[in-house]
Structures are given as C-alpha cells and as structure tokens.
Amino acid sequence: MARIVQKYGGTSVGDVERIKNVANRIKAVREAGNEVVVVVSARSGVTNELIARAKSLHPSPPDRELDQLVSIGEQETIALTAIALDAIGVLAKSYTGAQAGITTDKVYTKAKITGIDGKSIEKDLQAGKVVIVAGFQGIDDEGQVTTLGRGGSDLTAIALAAAIKADKCEIYTDVDGVYTADPRVVKDAKKLQEISYDEMLELASLGSKVMQTRSVEFAAKYNVIFEVRSSFNTNPGTIVKQEVAYMEKVVVRGVAVDKDQAKVVVSRIADKPGTAAAVFRALAEANINVDMIVQNVGHDGVANLTFTVPQSETLKAEKALAPVLKAVGGTVTLDDKIAKLSVVGVGMRTHSGVASTLFTALADAGINLELISTSEIKISVVIAKDKADDAARAAHKAFALEKL
Ligand code: ADP
Ligand code: ASP
Ligand code: MG
C-alpha cells in the first residue's frame, strides 16, 4: 500500500466524460489498495472565462474579489469528481482549500502557503475514502479565500504530498511528460525521462507552462520527487528530482518561450545614485516580478532603464512608477509585442559556447535580439513575439535536442 497524491489539470477534467475517465483511473489506484488524495483544477478555460467576465466590469478588479470569483472553478470540479466516484462505488469526499486546512498569507491572486493542517484528510483516508481537494486555493488567517497564482493546483498537490508524507506525487496533464520544448510548437521535441529541480524551475519560470514555477520551488525545498504524466494514456512520464552528477553531461535540456511578458523602458531618468533603487523599490512594493534589467551608459546626466514584467502587470507597473518618475524625471514606454526565449541546462556550468551557438542559430533565422541575460544554467533573450515559435525551433535544432 502506498499513499499517492494525484493532480489532474484543467484539460483532464475538462468535461463530464473526462471526469468519468479520471474517476475510473482513481478507482483502479484505490482498488489496488492505495490511499489516494486527488487535487483537481477547474475545467480548462473556466478560470480565464471568469477573469474575463470580471474585467468586462472593471479594468483592474479588486484582487480579493477576483480570488473569491475564480475559486469557484475548482469548487465545481471537486464536487463533480467526488460525485463521479460515488457513482462507480468509490467512497470519496471533496474539500475546498479551506476545508483541507490549507492556510496562506494575504497576498490575493498569488498567495503563499503558510501551513497545511492535514488532520481531516488523515481521518478520511483512515476511513478508506478518496479525498478530493480543490487546487489553487487556500484561506488566510482571517478566513478570506485566496488563490496561489495561475497554475497553482500544481502547488496544492506538491504541498499536500509533503504535508501528508505521500509516497508518490503524480501530476496528470494533457501531455505525457516534460519535453525538450513545448511539443505543440516544436514537433520533434523529445520527452525527458527525468529532469532536475533546477532545470524544471528555470523552464517553468521562463514560460514552460507544464508546471507552475512555485510548485517546483516548493518541491525542491521539501525534496518532493514528482512525476509529470498524461491522464489520457498510461505512458511513463518525466521524473522531476534532485540533480545527480550525470545530468551535467547534457548541456541544454530544454527550450522555453514566454509570450506573456512585456518590455518596459524608463527613458531619461536621472543618472545618479538611488534612481534605480527608487524605481525597483516602487515595483517591489507593488509585488511586481521584474526580470532582465538592463541600464544603458548614461549621457548628459540621464540614463535609460529597460526590464521585463509579466504582461498582466504592466498597468500596475505604470501606476507604481508614476510617483517615482515625478520625482526623478523620465518617461515610461511599454512594449508587449515581445517574447522571451531561453535555453536551460545544468550542463552549462561545465560547458562553454552555449551563447555563441544560440546567437548564431537565431541570427541565421533572421531574429534580432533586444535584451540578453544569463545565469549559471540558462540564457534568455528578448525577441519579437511573432518570431518566438521560429526561434524556439531554431534553438531546439541548434542544440540537437531531438536527439536527447
Ligand atoms: P494542466 O491544465 O494539466 O495544468 P497546462 O496547460 O498547465 O496543463 O500544462 C500542459 C501544457 O504545457 C501542455 O499542453 C504543453 O502545451 C505545455 N508545455 C509547454 N512547455 C512544455 C514542455 N517543455 N513540456 C511539456 N509541455 C509543455
Ligand atoms: N484553475 C487555475 C488556473 O487556471 C489553477 C490551475 O489550473 O492549476 O490557473
Ligand atoms: Mg497547469
């Protein structure tokens, strides 16, 4: 007997037929004698639809109300999954995030989990029930509903697996693992048998939506080994785990594209100590994630600062910057017709020439580089959004990832 946490994403519970499929899969695992905790997402499209509805009423809806709204997506699927299980004779009980004892801080729309009180779940498992938990949501210490950031059901699953000391954590989605690139874009992308937390973390944070970034961070911190698999077949998936020595033999393990970024240029700000600090303090105080910061060489006492932010946060960024620019001068321009392309691999630590291979491949494909940034295990470039898919294919080919 094992204790297993399974997470089914939006496509996997996208309609009644698919929920029946999920219920049958759960039944088989339960009847094999395992304890099963299941996390489900909202039906695919529902979260987006709810957000769009809110935005049709208000350009920037209050975050608390957004969380109140989008949390209903998962509340629907937990109940439907429990009902589908009951219909085939499996004891099951659904839990909202609050009922499951998932507590968070108060940062609406991207709350952090502060604790999980697994007592009720434990009791139901002892009683032989399958426990179905709503992904993506929690409750703060004042009883307010919070959500964990888009894709946050992955985090619910991994945090639960850690909290209830599960033997296995399986993330079921609509592809059968983590590929060397998004298989919808790069047709000859290869499924990876395994990948390190660090690589998965970079790929996720650089746009590979297959896993939510924070869920991978959490898994690495608590050493939760998990497998990404398909809910539509029984193929083995990709194991995500701590790095082992042989992983460094592969220089680049994956290509990621993020089309949800925007470039912000703050032009002609005072070139003196404290200006950049003031700009980024204002953005940090507004909880905006900034990346790829470049400052040009100052001239005539002024300089330009360029950086990227998530597209969904451009309005917030503009608002946050207004008082600073009043004080230090300068103007803001936004460009959302950009994408970030990245190559990732722990092998970059010990191999050279990665940048030159990437830049040559992109140059040969006629793609201009607007910003470049590197870290120990990744290289990212900002390019025109309409060239992003071509760039992903060119990079994939340049590193021969189809042969991994
Ligand atoms: P779920 O709703 O199950 O959470 P997501 O849509 O969040 O599923 O994630 C799965 C999708 O991630 C796939 O359909 C695929 O298009 C996309 N994806 C992006 N990059 C990768 C990658 N490197 N490997 C696998 N899938 C990827
Ligand atoms: N339903 C949420 C979203 O679409 C959470 C998830 O699917 O993981 O972002
Ligand atoms: Mg997802």
Q: What is the pLDDT of residue 53?
A: 98
What is the pTM (predicted TM-score) of this model?
Answer: 0.95
Structure-token pair, residue 378? 């990744």
Nearest ligand 2 atom to alpha carbon 153 = 8
Burial 227-251 (b: 16+ CB within 10 A, else e): bbbbbeeeeebbbbbebeeebbebb
Ligand 2 binding pocket includes 42 (Cβ within 6 Å): yes
Provide the percentage of residues in the chain whose pLDDT is more than 90: 96
Q: What is the pLDDT of residue 60?
A: 86
- Nearest residue to 173 via CA among 132, 103, 229, 224: 229
Nearest ligand 2 atom to alpha carbon 9 = 7
Contact 261, 339 (CB under 8 A): yes
* Residue 299 pLDDT greater than 90, yes or no: no
DSSP string for 215-233 = HHHHHHHHT--EEEEESSS
Contact 171, 226 (CB under 8 A): yes
User: Going from the N-terminus, what domains does the chain have, and what CATH number goes with each?
Assistant: 3-174 (3.40.1160.10), 255-403 (3.30.2130.10)
Q: What is the pLDDT of residue 179?
A: 98
Question: Cα of 350 to ligand 2 centre, how many Å?
Answer: 37
* Residue 157 pLDDT greater than 90, yes or no: yes
Strand partners, 171: 7, 228
Residue that is written with structure tokens 């008082």 in the block: 323
Q: Which ligand is nearest to the CA of 42?
A: 2
Residue closest via CA to ligand 2's atom 5 equals 151
- Range 307-325 average pLDDT: 94
- Nearest residue to 94 via CA among 114, 113, 74, 112: 74
Structure-token pair, residue 325? 């620019």
d(CA 208, CA 248): 21
How high does pLDDT run on average in the chain? Answer: 97
d(CA 374, CA 45): 34
| Spatial strand order in the sheet of 145-147 | 113-116, 102-104, 137-139, 145-147
Ligand 1 binding pocket includes 173 (Cβ within 6 Å): yes
d(CA 162, CA 224): 6
Per DSSP, helices labelled H in 95-212 are 119-126, 153-163, 197-205
Contacts of 277 (CB under 8 A, 6+ apart): none
d(CA 22, CA 7): 10
Contacts of 73 (CB under 8 A, 6+ apart): 41, 42, 43, 46, 47, 50, 136
Contact 331, 266 (CB under 8 A): yes
d(CA 102, CA 160): 9
How many other CB atoms sit within 10 Å of the CB of residue 263? 21
Ligand 2 binding pocket includes 237 (Cβ within 6 Å): no
Nearest ligand 1 atom to alpha carbon 154 = 4
* Residue 104 pLDDT greater than 90, yes or no: yes
3-state secondary structure of 104: strand
Question: Cα of 43 to ligand 2 centre, how many Å?
Answer: 9
Q: What is the pLDDT of residue 297?
A: 83
Structure-token pair, residue 382? 């900002």
Structure-token pair, residue 333? 């321009």
Instruction: Write out pLDDT tens, residues 357-369.
Output: 999 999 999 999 9
- Range 195-221 average pLDDT: 97
For 373, phi then psi, to 5°, come to -145, 150
- Range 153-182 average pLDDT: 98
Q: Which amino acid is at 134?
A: A
Provide the percentage of residues in the chain whose pLDDT is more than 70: 100
Please give the DSSP secondary-structure letter assigned to residue 48: H
Q: How confident is the model at residue 404 (pLDDT cuts 50, 70, 90)?
A: very high
- Range 364-379 average pLDDT: 96
- Nearest residue to 105 via CA among 141, 79, 71: 141
Q: What is the pLDDT of residue 336?
A: 96
Q: Which ligand is nearest to the CA of 212?
A: 3
Ligand 1 binding pocket includes 210 (Cβ within 6 Å): yes
CA angle, corner 82, sides to 77 and 83, nearest 5?
Answer: 95
End-to-end C-alpha distance for the chain, whole angstroms: 35
Question: Cα of 377 to ligand 3 centre, how many Å?
Answer: 23
Give the helix/strand (H/E) hosting 338.
strand 338-344
- Range 210-221 average pLDDT: 98
Instruction: Write out pLDDT tens, residues 107-119.
Output: 999 999 999 999 9
- Range 254-275 average pLDDT: 95
- Range 215-241 average pLDDT: 98
Ligand 1 binding pocket includes 45 (Cβ within 6 Å): no
Question: Cα of 394 to ligand 1 centre, how many Å?
Answer: 20
Question: Cα of 110 to ligand 3 centre, how many Å?
Answer: 15
Is 40 exposed, middle or buried (CB count within 10 Å of its CB: 0-12, 13-18, 19+)? buried
- Range 155-163 average pLDDT: 98
Q: What is the pLDDT of residue 143?
A: 98
Q: How confident is the model at residue 260 (pLDDT cuts 50, 70, 90)?
A: very high
* Residue 131 pLDDT greater than 90, yes or no: yes
Ligand 2 binding pocket includes 147 (Cβ within 6 Å): no
Q: Which ligand is nearest to the CA of 136?
A: 2
Question: Cα of 164 to ligand 2 centre, how many Å?
Answer: 22
Instruction: Write out pLDDT tens, residues 317-338.
Output: 999 999 999 988 899 999 999 9
* Residue 98 pLDDT greater than 90, yes or no: yes
Which range (9-18, 29-38, 246-255, 290-299) has the least confidence?
290-299
Give the helix/strand (H/E) hosting 367.
none
Q: What is the pLDDT of residue 261?
A: 97
